[in-house]
């Protein structure tokens, strides 16, 4: 078949794929003139009337008052105003079955002029600090405890009582149960070695050899410690290790079992049960933590629950700020369920073992002009319902991920209408280092637009659905530690179709160790994506280009600009392996394909066949993808591992001294090489907020 004929035969497919039902306009609800006002203030009283002169004190009381107002004034516009200040929290607030209307949504918002100054806090300032060396505790401490403190830093360590901040679910090896300490926005470090990054082990010494994809090791967690690992870890009462034990996309916390000496070398034994299901390779990356004996650097802390003491070396510089411990242990601060037409605006949610806001089985609930910071788990969840979203909202300093959006019905391809618009997620996956993205989009019909996602050891987005549109977003400084990942990462489900990634800027995504990092990574049979009009700058590393396609088909890469990338597109063709995935129904390797395509959904149904006509030949033509009209500038190579089934037309490769994104995105410059305009000026966050006061 001639290339031009093959390209023409796929034009209809291209037109179908370029249309995504999630390309709906995001219309924000109105801010009605309040007909019932409820006021709340940090110095209020929950027995008060809830007026501006006699405000309530808590969010929970405000919810009860709003529900009562809807009962007595069902047609009225209800608005809850929170005055400026800090509201300590200790219990989850639930809003259940509360509904406004489309023209009169119920508002829970900051008072006029107080946006960004209303803070619901799950943290507590730690007081009672004193120099450890001068404390009664130190003078009375048993010798075995004193031996755990390095004498060279004794004079730098402060200590304080812990009893007032004690939590029930504390576990230093869990992203949802570690009790973090902060000085302002700066997280303090649980005492560890090495102080930054990782050290490298020697040989794996378990009894059962493992060899997989050029990696070798053993099944048992026994390995030579790093040559310069310091002594004293086995004297610690609760020592842990964190590591990438076999693959650099799969990390876990392991308890230190014991350390023995073999021929002058320290040998680490991981405690039972081993959580690394892949085993332990030679020369793996790890570090030790929760180690008082390694408390030696400004900004490190250690909690000793046996003695009810905290130990801390303050950061250098300004000593005027007091540290805060996260104390709120509940899964969510605010739980919204079975609600409709609610707006939360201008509020800050700060600190928790879990997340800030959960919105479940609700319609048209909006989170706007809000901030969620210093949370250990997913910060904001939208699950079920329809038309819910977040606008002009920032999440930052997160132990896990940012937003989780799930909705719609994939079996019937019914859209959810959920969205993110003009949002920002920064400094996430701080404790859970992989697969904790800035946002998850699962289900059908979800839109993400004009957002910024930056600062992670791994990916910024995970997709698990259909008709998902990502456009006008800025992804940068991602995949800084893990491997075999992408800024957007999708894997092992060829039914995830109809998704469009267009008009985004991807910059500085160049991590990876063995495989690499990509801006967009379509892994293990991911098919039917349209990647259009994006700008990739300094993306791709090791074996990956800015876009990596692993075993999928029917993907279209069109009208993109690649500048200073490792390569534009890389491929990992599957060939006969792809065909076997459809015919081998019993193999462990391929059984998931049948569950994904015939149980979770039914790709043979009329609605699926009509929406995705290419499914008629789903098991044929493996690795047939389309790469057309792309401009590849100053890249060492255009394509890696090119397959002859890939259709290529109109791609331009050039070396241009002094090329910049701005110069290359000029309409005339793009037009000269056959590309349609790419709206650089529209990419990223937009000015403006929901509240206008």
Half-sphere exposure of 273 (CA within 13 A, CB side): 2
* 20: confidence class by pLDDT, cuts 50, 70, 90: confident
**What are the structural domain ranges in the chain?**
3-26+378-682, 36-109, 124-191+295-325, 199-293
Buried b (16+ CB within 10 A) or exposed e, 266-282: bbbbbeeebebeebbbb
- What 3-state DSSP class applies to 261? strand
Q: In what order do the strands lie in the sheet with 158-161?
A: 130-131, 158-161, 309-312, 300-304, 189-190
> Cβ distance 243 to 254 under 8 Å?
yes
Q: Mean pLDDT across the chain, nearest whole number? A: 95
* Lookup result for tokens 């991981």: 270
Distance separating alpha carbons of residues 427 and 401, to the nearest angstrom? 9
Distance separating alpha carbons of residues 185 and 103, to the nearest angstrom? 38
* 259: confidence class by pLDDT, cuts 50, 70, 90: very high
DSSP 69: H
- What 3-state DSSP class applies to 340? strand
- Give the β-pairing of 389-391 and 403-407: unpaired
- What 3-state DSSP class applies to 535? strand
| 682: its two tokens | 């529209």
**Burial bucket for residue 143 (CB in 10 Å: 0-12, 13-18, 19+):** exposed
| 82: its two tokens | 């929170």
> Cβ distance 99 to 341 under 8 Å?
yes
Mean pLDDT of 2-28: 63
DSSP 175: T
Distance separating alpha carbons of residues 513 and 523, to the nearest angstrom? 17
Q: What is the pLDDT of residues 563-597, one digit of tens each?
A: 999 999 999 999 999 988 888 877 766 778 889 99
pLDDT for 588: 66
Its sign, for the CA torsion 184, 187, 192, 198, is negative
- Give the β-pairing of 300-304 and 309-312: antiparallel
Mean pLDDT of 69-87: 97
pLDDT for 273: 84
Mean pLDDT of 207-221: 93
Which residues make Cβ contacts (< 8 Å) with residue 53, sequence separation at least 6?
none
Buried b (16+ CB within 10 A) or exposed e, 174-208: bbbbbbbbbbeeebbbbbbbbeeeebebbebbbee
Q: What is the pLDDT of residues 447-484, one digit of tens each?
A: 999 999 999 999 999 999 999 999 999 999 999 999 99
- What 3-state DSSP class applies to 292? helix
Mean pLDDT of 247-252: 96
| 340: its two tokens | 């409709």
Cα 322 to chain center, whole Å?
Answer: 29
Q: How far is CA 294 from CA 151, 290, 304, 452, in A?
A: 11, 8, 14, 36
> Cβ distance 557 to 565 under 8 Å?
no
Q: What is the pLDDT of residues 191-203, one digit of tens each?
A: 999 999 999 999 9
| 169: its two tokens | 């679910």
Q: What is the pTM of this model?
A: 0.96
pLDDT for 213: 83
Q: What is the pLDDT of residues 325-359, one digit of tens each?
A: 999 999 999 999 999 999 999 999 999 999 999 99
Q: Is the pLDDT score of 677 beyond 80? A: yes
């Amino acid at each position: 078949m001639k290339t031009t004929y093959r390209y023409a035969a796929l034009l209809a497919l291209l037109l179908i794929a370029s249309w995504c039902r999630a390309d709906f306009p995001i219309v924000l609800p109105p801010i009605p003139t309040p007909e019932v006002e409820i006021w709340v203030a940090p110095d209020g009283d929950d027995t008060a009337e809830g007026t501006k002169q006699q405000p309530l004190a808590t969010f929970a009381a405000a919810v009860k008052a709003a529900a009562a107002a809807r009962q007595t004034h069902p047609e009225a516009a209800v608005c809850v105003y929170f005055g400026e200040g800090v509201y300590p929290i200790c219990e989850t607030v639930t809003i259940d079955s509360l509904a406004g209307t489309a023209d009169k949504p119920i508002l829970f918002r900051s008072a006029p002029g107080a946006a960004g100054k209303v803070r619901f806090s799950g943290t507590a300032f730690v007081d009672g600090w004193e120099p450890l060396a001068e404390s009664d505790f130190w003078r009375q401490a048993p010798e075995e405890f004193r031996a755990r403190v390095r004498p060279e830093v004794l004079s730098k360590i402060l200590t304080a009582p812990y009893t007032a901040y004690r939590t029930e679910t504390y576990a230093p090896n869990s992203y949802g149960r570690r009790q973090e300490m902060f000085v302002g926005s700066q997280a303090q470090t649980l005492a560890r070695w090495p102080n930054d990054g990782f050290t490298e082990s020697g040989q794996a010494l378990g009894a059962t050899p493992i060899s997989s994809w050029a990696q070798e090791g053993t099944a048992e967690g026994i390995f030579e410690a790093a040559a310069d690992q310091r002594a004293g870890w086995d004297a610690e009462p609760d020592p842990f290790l964190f590591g990438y034990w076999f693959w650099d996309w799969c990390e876990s916390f392991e308890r230190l079992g014991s350390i023995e000496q073999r021929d002058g070398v320290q040998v680490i034994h991981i405690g039972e049960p081993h959580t690394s299901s892949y085993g332990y390779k030679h020369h793996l990356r790890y570090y030790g933590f929760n180690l008082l004996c390694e408390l030696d650097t400004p900004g490190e802390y250690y909690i000793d629950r046996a003695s009810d003491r905290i130990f801390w070396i303050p950061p250098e510089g300004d000593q005027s700020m007091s540290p805060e411990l996260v104390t709120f242990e509940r899964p969510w601060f605010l739980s919204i369920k079975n609600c409709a037409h609610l707006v939360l605006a201008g509020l800050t949610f700060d600190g928790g073992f879990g997340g800030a806001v959960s919105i479940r089985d609700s319609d048209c609930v909006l989170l706007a002009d809000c901030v969620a910071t210093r949370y250990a788990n997913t910060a904001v969840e939208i699950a079920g319902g329809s038309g819910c979203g977040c606008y002009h909202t920032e999440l930052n300093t997160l132990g896990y991920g940012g937003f989780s959006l799930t909705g719609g019905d994939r079996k019937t391809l019914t859209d959810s209408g959920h969205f993110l618009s003009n949002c920002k997620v920064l400094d996430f996956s701080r404790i859970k280092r992989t697969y904790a993205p800035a946002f998850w989009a699962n289900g059908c019909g979800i839109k993400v637009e004009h957002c910024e996602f930056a600062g992670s050891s791994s990916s910024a987005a995970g997709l698990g659905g259909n008709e998902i549109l990502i456009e006008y977003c800025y992804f940068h400084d991602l995949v800084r530690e893990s491997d075999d990942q992408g800024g957007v990462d999708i894997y092992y489900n060829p039914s995830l179709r109809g998704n469009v990634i267009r008009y985004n800027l991807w910059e500085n995504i160049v991590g990876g160790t063995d495989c690499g990092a990509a801006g967009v990574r379509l892994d293990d049979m991911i098919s039917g994506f349209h990647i259009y009009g994006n700008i990739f700058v300094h993306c791709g590393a090791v074996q990956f280009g800015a876009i990596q396609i692993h075993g999928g088909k029917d993907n279209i890469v069109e009208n993109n600009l690649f500048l200073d990338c490792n390569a534009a597109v890389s491929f990992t063709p599957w060939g006969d392996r792809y065909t076997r995935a459809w015919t081998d129904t019993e193999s462990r390797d391929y059984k998931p394909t049948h569950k994904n395509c015939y149980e979770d959904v039914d790709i043979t149904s009329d609605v699926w066949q009509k929406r995705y006509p290419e499914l008629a030949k789903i098991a044929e033509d493996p690795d047939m993808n389309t790469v057309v009209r792309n401009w590849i500038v100053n890249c060492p190579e255009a394509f890696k591992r090119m397959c002859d089934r890939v259709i290529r037309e109109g791609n331009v490769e050039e070396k241009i001294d002094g090329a910049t994104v701005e110069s290359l995105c000029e309409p005339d410059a793009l037009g000269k090489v056959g590309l349609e305009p790419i709206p650089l000026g529209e990419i990223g966050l937009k000015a403006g907020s929901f509240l206008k006061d």
